Amino acid sequence: MKTRKLGNSNLEISETGLGCMGMSYGYGTISDKTEMITLIHKAVESGVTFFDTAEVYGPFINEELVGEALAPFRSKVVIATKFGFDTIGGAGLNSRPENIKKVAEASLKRLRTDVIDLFYQHRVDPNVPIEDVAGAVKDLIQEGKVKHFGLSEAGVQIIRRAHAVQPVTALQSEYSLWWREPEAEILPVLEELGIGFVPFSPLGKGFLTGKMDQNTTFDSKDFRSTVPRLAPENIKANMAFVDLVTAVAKRKNATPAQIALAWILAQKPWIVPIPGTTKLHRLTENLGAADVIFTPDELEEINTASFEIAVKGERYSGGSAKMINR
């Protein structure tokens, strides 16, 4: 597998990473631990060197899973995890410096490592100046407990202010053919500052794989059951996106998921998507996206067609939407 560098940093990783959240959080079920360790090992064998987790996934159990699975390969892989939620006091945010340092110590133990490669603020905390957050991570970097600082779902001004205190290596935010909002302001600033971009939900929470339709139902504990754009009436309207990637996939002898991922890889050389899966065949399928190469005309066709489709439904609901600080 080819590698990419996240912006101007020296952090070189596989051009596609693996999002591990869904293995133990978010989709209503906790996958079999042994099976997930096997999947993570298969990813490593396939050339994946970038793995994404967070303390809040579970909470805690996803970090423990990733730590155990990657222990035999620790020197060969990059592990990203996140801080910023109040896992003890409730569902709120907590990016106070003392909590950041406490989370770092706990994550190090769960991940079975002596250093966190990339430490993201999971969501911007409006009650803590971003300068204080960046300063706390800077301290951890100076102590040798963290290598790189990241942000997630942060807006332009937050990115600039944080970067001025401690260089930001990567921003993680949602980005896909049906959520292109980062292109307007975020991506130009990342390019200006030399910050890498790590898109989560690059397959539109599974929608762009073409495996959903208006009859699809989700478990009540599956977070997608609360996503407005995945409501039955909106799925029907949004199928135009699936029709687009399916049509291109037929011409390119690929799958819709591979087209969606290959499109992201073609945008910038410092973008590394982290599709998640709990199935070995999906892992193989996703990694195959790297073999799909578009001509400039094909990219223009996809871009033009996707812009002409009106997305129906918000990407988050209620309380989740309030935690997106743009």
CA–CA distance, 182 with 175 (Å, rounded to integer):
7
CA distance linking residue 217 with residue 195, whole number of Å: 38
The two three-digit tokens of residue 234, written as one number: 């909106």
Is 316 an annotated catalytic residue? no
CA atoms within 13 A on the CB side of 65: 31
The 3-state DSSP composition of the chain as helix, strand, coil percent (nearest 5) reads: 45, 15, 40
Q: What is the DSSP letter of 150?
A: E
Separation in Å, CA 57 to CA 65, 206, 301: 11, 19, 38
Long-range own/partner contacts, residues 257-260 (CB < 8 A, 24 or more apart):
257/203, 257/208, 257/209, 257/210, 257/282, 257/285, 257/286, 257/289, 258/285, 258/286, 258/288, 258/289, 258/292, 259/289, 259/292, 259/302, 260/176, 260/177, 260/202, 260/203, 260/204, 260/208, 260/209, 260/289
Distances (CA, A) of 82 to 53, 71, 207, 215, 227: 7, 19, 25, 35, 23
Please identify which of the residues 25, 27, 57, 175 carries the catalytic annotation: 57
Just list the catalytic residues: 57
